[in-house]
Amino acid sequence: MVERKNGNNHNGLTEEDEKRIRKAFENKDWNEIKTENSWLVFKVMSEFVEGFEKLAKIGPCVSIFGSARTKENEPYYKMAVEIAAKLVRHGYGVITGGGPGIMEAGNRGAHSENGKSVGLNIDLPFEQHNNPYIDPDKLLNFDYFFVRKVMFVKYAQGFIVMPGGFGTLDEMFEAITLIQTKKIGAFPIILVGKDYWQGLFDWIRDVLLKNNNINEEDLDLITLVDTPEEAVNAIDEFYAQFHLSPNF
Protein backbone atom coordinates (compact mmCIF):
# COMPACT_ATOMS: atom_id res chain seq x y z
CA MET A 1 0.00 0.00 0.00
CA VAL A 2 1.36 3.43 -0.96
CA GLU A 3 1.87 5.69 2.02
CA ARG A 4 0.05 9.02 1.80
CA LYS A 5 0.85 12.38 3.34
CA ASN A 6 -1.63 15.27 3.09
CA GLY A 7 -3.64 13.27 0.56
CA ASN A 8 -0.65 12.60 -1.70
CA ASN A 9 1.39 9.45 -2.28
CA HIS A 10 5.19 9.40 -2.38
CA ASN A 11 5.14 10.49 -6.04
CA GLY A 12 3.08 13.56 -5.22
CA LEU A 13 -0.07 12.12 -6.79
CA THR A 14 -3.43 12.79 -5.21
CA GLU A 15 -6.22 10.24 -5.07
CA GLU A 16 -7.89 12.09 -7.94
CA ASP A 17 -4.67 11.80 -10.00
CA GLU A 18 -4.58 8.06 -9.37
CA LYS A 19 -8.23 7.67 -10.35
CA ARG A 20 -7.58 9.41 -13.68
CA ILE A 21 -4.57 7.20 -14.39
CA ARG A 22 -6.38 3.98 -13.48
CA LYS A 23 -9.41 5.00 -15.54
CA ALA A 24 -7.22 5.20 -18.64
CA PHE A 25 -6.53 1.46 -18.29
CA GLU A 26 -10.15 0.41 -17.80
CA ASN A 27 -11.78 -1.75 -20.44
CA LYS A 28 -15.10 -0.34 -21.70
CA ASP A 29 -17.79 -1.94 -23.76
CA TRP A 30 -18.87 -0.42 -27.06
CA ASN A 31 -21.97 1.23 -25.62
CA GLU A 32 -19.93 3.04 -22.96
CA ILE A 33 -17.40 4.20 -25.54
CA LYS A 34 -20.06 5.41 -27.96
CA THR A 35 -22.07 7.24 -25.31
CA GLU A 36 -19.09 8.93 -23.69
CA ASN A 37 -17.50 10.01 -26.98
CA SER A 38 -20.78 11.27 -28.43
CA TRP A 39 -21.33 13.66 -25.56
CA LEU A 40 -17.68 14.77 -25.77
CA VAL A 41 -18.07 15.58 -29.47
CA PHE A 42 -21.21 17.63 -28.83
CA LYS A 43 -19.53 19.56 -26.00
CA VAL A 44 -16.49 20.34 -28.16
CA MET A 45 -18.74 21.39 -31.04
CA SER A 46 -20.73 23.72 -28.79
CA GLU A 47 -17.53 25.45 -27.63
CA PHE A 48 -16.36 25.93 -31.22
CA VAL A 49 -19.75 27.26 -32.33
CA GLU A 50 -20.02 29.75 -29.47
CA GLY A 51 -16.45 30.92 -30.08
CA PHE A 52 -16.97 31.40 -33.81
CA GLU A 53 -20.24 33.25 -33.30
CA LYS A 54 -18.89 35.67 -30.68
CA LEU A 55 -15.50 36.36 -32.26
CA ALA A 56 -16.21 36.38 -36.00
CA LYS A 57 -16.74 40.15 -36.12
CA ILE A 58 -14.36 41.50 -33.47
CA GLY A 59 -11.95 43.03 -36.01
CA PRO A 60 -8.13 43.17 -35.74
CA CYS A 61 -6.91 41.95 -32.36
CA VAL A 62 -3.65 40.98 -30.70
CA SER A 63 -3.48 38.03 -28.29
CA ILE A 64 -1.54 38.67 -25.08
CA PHE A 65 -0.17 35.59 -23.30
CA GLY A 66 1.36 35.53 -19.83
CA SER A 67 1.27 34.19 -16.30
CA ALA A 68 -1.87 34.09 -14.19
CA ARG A 69 0.38 34.48 -11.13
CA THR A 70 1.80 37.93 -11.88
CA LYS A 71 0.69 40.43 -9.23
CA GLU A 72 -0.71 43.90 -9.81
CA ASN A 73 2.34 45.60 -8.28
CA GLU A 74 4.87 43.72 -10.43
CA PRO A 75 6.62 45.40 -13.39
CA TYR A 76 5.38 42.97 -16.05
CA TYR A 77 1.76 43.49 -14.97
CA LYS A 78 2.17 47.23 -15.42
CA MET A 79 3.88 46.68 -18.78
CA ALA A 80 1.03 44.46 -19.98
CA VAL A 81 -1.50 47.16 -19.04
CA GLU A 82 0.49 49.74 -20.99
CA ILE A 83 0.97 47.46 -24.00
CA ALA A 84 -2.74 46.69 -24.19
CA ALA A 85 -3.67 50.37 -23.88
CA LYS A 86 -1.22 51.28 -26.65
CA LEU A 87 -2.58 48.52 -28.88
CA VAL A 88 -6.08 49.94 -28.51
CA ARG A 89 -4.84 53.45 -29.27
CA HIS A 90 -3.20 52.03 -32.41
CA GLY A 91 -6.48 50.45 -33.51
CA TYR A 92 -6.31 46.88 -32.19
CA GLY A 93 -8.48 44.96 -29.79
CA VAL A 94 -6.96 42.66 -27.16
CA ILE A 95 -7.51 38.94 -26.57
CA THR A 96 -6.34 37.27 -23.36
CA GLY A 97 -6.96 34.06 -21.49
CA GLY A 98 -9.51 35.92 -19.40
CA GLY A 99 -7.99 35.13 -16.01
CA PRO A 100 -5.91 36.99 -13.41
CA GLY A 101 -2.29 38.16 -13.64
CA ILE A 102 -1.01 39.19 -17.08
CA MET A 103 -4.37 38.27 -18.57
CA GLU A 104 -6.13 40.70 -16.26
CA ALA A 105 -3.53 43.35 -17.07
CA GLY A 106 -4.14 42.94 -20.81
CA ASN A 107 -7.90 43.26 -20.46
CA ARG A 108 -7.46 46.14 -18.02
CA GLY A 109 -5.34 48.11 -20.46
CA ALA A 110 -7.80 47.55 -23.29
CA HIS A 111 -10.75 48.44 -21.07
CA SER A 112 -9.06 51.66 -19.91
CA GLU A 113 -9.04 52.90 -23.52
CA ASN A 114 -12.56 51.67 -24.29
CA GLY A 115 -11.14 49.12 -26.70
CA LYS A 116 -12.32 45.63 -27.48
CA SER A 117 -11.41 43.40 -24.54
CA VAL A 118 -11.83 39.68 -25.16
CA GLY A 119 -11.42 36.96 -22.52
CA LEU A 120 -11.09 33.26 -23.32
CA ASN A 121 -11.49 31.77 -19.86
CA ILE A 122 -10.63 28.13 -19.08
CA ASP A 123 -12.20 26.09 -16.29
CA LEU A 124 -9.33 24.98 -14.03
CA PRO A 125 -9.22 23.52 -10.50
CA PHE A 126 -6.90 26.34 -9.38
CA GLU A 127 -5.79 29.92 -10.14
CA GLN A 128 -8.27 30.66 -12.94
CA HIS A 129 -11.30 32.93 -12.74
CA ASN A 130 -12.36 35.56 -15.23
CA ASN A 131 -11.26 39.13 -14.52
CA PRO A 132 -13.65 42.11 -14.42
CA TYR A 133 -12.14 44.00 -17.39
CA ILE A 134 -13.57 41.80 -20.16
CA ASP A 135 -16.40 43.08 -22.35
CA PRO A 136 -19.49 41.17 -21.17
CA ASP A 137 -20.34 40.10 -24.73
CA LYS A 138 -16.76 38.94 -25.37
CA LEU A 139 -16.28 36.55 -22.44
CA LEU A 140 -16.13 32.88 -23.41
CA ASN A 141 -15.67 29.93 -21.05
CA PHE A 142 -13.98 26.73 -22.17
CA ASP A 143 -13.47 23.26 -20.78
CA TYR A 144 -10.96 22.25 -23.46
CA PHE A 145 -7.58 23.87 -23.94
CA PHE A 146 -7.37 22.88 -27.60
CA VAL A 147 -10.62 24.67 -28.47
CA ARG A 148 -9.46 27.76 -26.58
CA LYS A 149 -6.12 27.78 -28.41
CA VAL A 150 -7.90 27.72 -31.76
CA MET A 151 -9.70 30.92 -30.74
CA PHE A 152 -6.45 32.55 -29.59
CA VAL A 153 -4.89 31.96 -32.98
CA LYS A 154 -7.81 32.20 -35.39
CA TYR A 155 -8.85 35.70 -34.37
CA ALA A 156 -5.47 37.33 -33.67
CA GLN A 157 -3.31 39.41 -35.99
CA GLY A 158 -0.33 39.21 -33.68
CA PHE A 159 0.92 37.74 -30.42
CA ILE A 160 2.47 39.50 -27.42
CA VAL A 161 4.10 37.00 -25.05
CA MET A 162 4.78 38.21 -21.53
CA PRO A 163 6.68 36.13 -18.94
CA GLY A 164 4.76 33.03 -17.91
CA GLY A 165 4.88 29.32 -17.19
CA PHE A 166 3.86 26.12 -18.93
CA GLY A 167 0.56 27.51 -20.19
CA THR A 168 2.25 30.54 -21.72
CA LEU A 169 4.90 28.36 -23.36
CA ASP A 170 2.18 26.08 -24.71
CA GLU A 171 0.31 28.98 -26.29
CA MET A 172 3.47 30.56 -27.66
CA PHE A 173 4.81 27.38 -29.26
CA GLU A 174 1.36 26.57 -30.66
CA ALA A 175 1.44 29.88 -32.55
CA ILE A 176 5.06 29.39 -33.65
CA THR A 177 4.35 25.87 -34.89
CA LEU A 178 1.29 26.92 -36.88
CA ILE A 179 3.26 29.73 -38.50
CA GLN A 180 6.32 27.56 -39.16
CA THR A 181 4.18 24.88 -40.83
CA LYS A 182 2.24 27.56 -42.76
CA LYS A 183 -1.11 26.57 -41.28
CA ILE A 184 -1.68 30.26 -40.50
CA GLY A 185 -0.12 33.47 -41.75
CA ALA A 186 3.27 34.64 -40.47
CA PHE A 187 1.83 36.95 -37.83
CA PRO A 188 4.32 38.70 -35.53
CA ILE A 189 5.26 36.98 -32.27
CA ILE A 190 6.74 39.45 -29.78
CA LEU A 191 8.41 38.23 -26.58
CA VAL A 192 8.54 40.95 -23.92
CA GLY A 193 11.39 40.85 -21.41
CA LYS A 194 14.81 39.94 -22.78
CA ASP A 195 16.10 38.94 -19.35
CA TYR A 196 13.27 36.42 -19.10
CA TRP A 197 13.26 35.04 -22.65
CA GLN A 198 16.88 35.33 -23.83
CA GLY A 199 17.92 31.99 -22.32
CA LEU A 200 15.11 30.16 -24.12
CA PHE A 201 15.91 31.92 -27.38
CA ASP A 202 19.61 31.02 -27.01
CA TRP A 203 18.67 27.37 -26.41
CA ILE A 204 16.47 27.34 -29.51
CA ARG A 205 19.36 28.77 -31.55
CA ASP A 206 22.21 26.81 -29.98
CA VAL A 207 20.47 23.44 -29.58
CA LEU A 208 17.48 23.14 -31.91
CA LEU A 209 19.11 24.93 -34.83
CA LYS A 210 22.52 23.35 -34.25
CA ASN A 211 20.91 19.90 -34.41
CA ASN A 212 19.04 20.80 -37.62
CA ASN A 213 15.64 20.51 -35.94
CA ILE A 214 14.59 23.94 -37.19
CA ASN A 215 15.70 26.16 -40.07
CA GLU A 216 17.69 29.33 -39.54
CA GLU A 217 14.84 31.46 -40.86
CA ASP A 218 12.59 30.05 -38.13
CA LEU A 219 14.49 32.23 -35.66
CA ASP A 220 13.03 35.25 -37.46
CA LEU A 221 9.55 34.22 -36.33
CA ILE A 222 10.38 35.56 -32.85
CA THR A 223 11.16 39.16 -31.86
CA LEU A 224 12.52 39.98 -28.40
CA VAL A 225 11.80 43.41 -26.91
CA ASP A 226 12.03 45.15 -23.57
CA THR A 227 9.50 47.98 -23.58
CA PRO A 228 5.82 48.51 -24.39
CA GLU A 229 6.81 50.95 -27.13
CA GLU A 230 9.02 48.33 -28.81
CA ALA A 231 6.31 45.69 -28.56
CA VAL A 232 3.59 47.77 -30.20
CA ASN A 233 5.98 49.26 -32.77
CA ALA A 234 6.95 45.73 -33.83
CA ILE A 235 3.29 44.98 -34.56
CA ASP A 236 2.84 48.25 -36.46
CA GLU A 237 6.03 47.82 -38.47
CA PHE A 238 5.03 44.33 -39.50
CA TYR A 239 1.76 45.50 -41.03
CA ALA A 240 3.28 48.69 -42.48
CA GLN A 241 5.31 46.57 -44.91
CA PHE A 242 2.02 45.29 -46.36
CA HIS A 243 0.50 48.81 -46.36
CA LEU A 244 -2.10 47.56 -43.89
CA SER A 245 -3.51 49.27 -40.83
CA PRO A 246 -5.88 47.96 -38.14
CA ASN A 247 -8.93 49.00 -40.14
CA PHE A 248 -8.12 46.49 -42.89
Structural domain includes residue 223: yes
Q: Of 101, 160, 145, 153, give the one whose Cα is nearest residue 127.
A: 101
Whole-number pLDDT of residue 214 = 97
In a domain, 185, yes or no: yes
**For residue 6, is it within any domain?**
no
Indicate whether 2 belongs to any domain. Answer: no
Q: Quick one: pLDDT band at residue 1, thresholds 50, 70, 90?
A: very low
Domain around 158: 45-240
Exposure of 105 by Cβ count < 10 A (0-12 exposed, 13-18 middle, 19+ buried)? buried
The enclosing domain of 162 has a CATH number of: 3.40.50.450
Within-domain flag for 145: yes
What pLDDT does residue 94 have?
98
Full DSSP string of 115-171: --EEEEEE--SSS----TTS-GGGEEEES-HHHHHHHHHHT-S-EEE-S--HHHHHH
pLDDT digits over 14-69, tens only? 888 888 778 777 777 766 666 777 888 899 999 999 999 999 989 999 999 999 99
Residue type at 239? Y
CA atoms of 17 and 103, how far apart (whole Å): 28
Q: What is the pTM assigned to this prediction?
A: 0.86
pLDDT, mean over the chain:
90
pLDDT digits (tens, 9 = 90+) for 121-139: 998 766 568 999 999 999 9
Q: Report whether 102 contacts 67 (CB < 8 A).
A: yes
Residue 121: inside a domain: yes
How much is the average pLDDT of 97-119?
Answer: 97
Kindly state the greatest CA–CA separation across the chain. Answer: 67
- Whether 8 is covered by a domain: the verdict is no
Q: How many domains does the chain have?
A: 1
Please indicate, yes or no, if residue 25 is contained in any of the structural domains: no
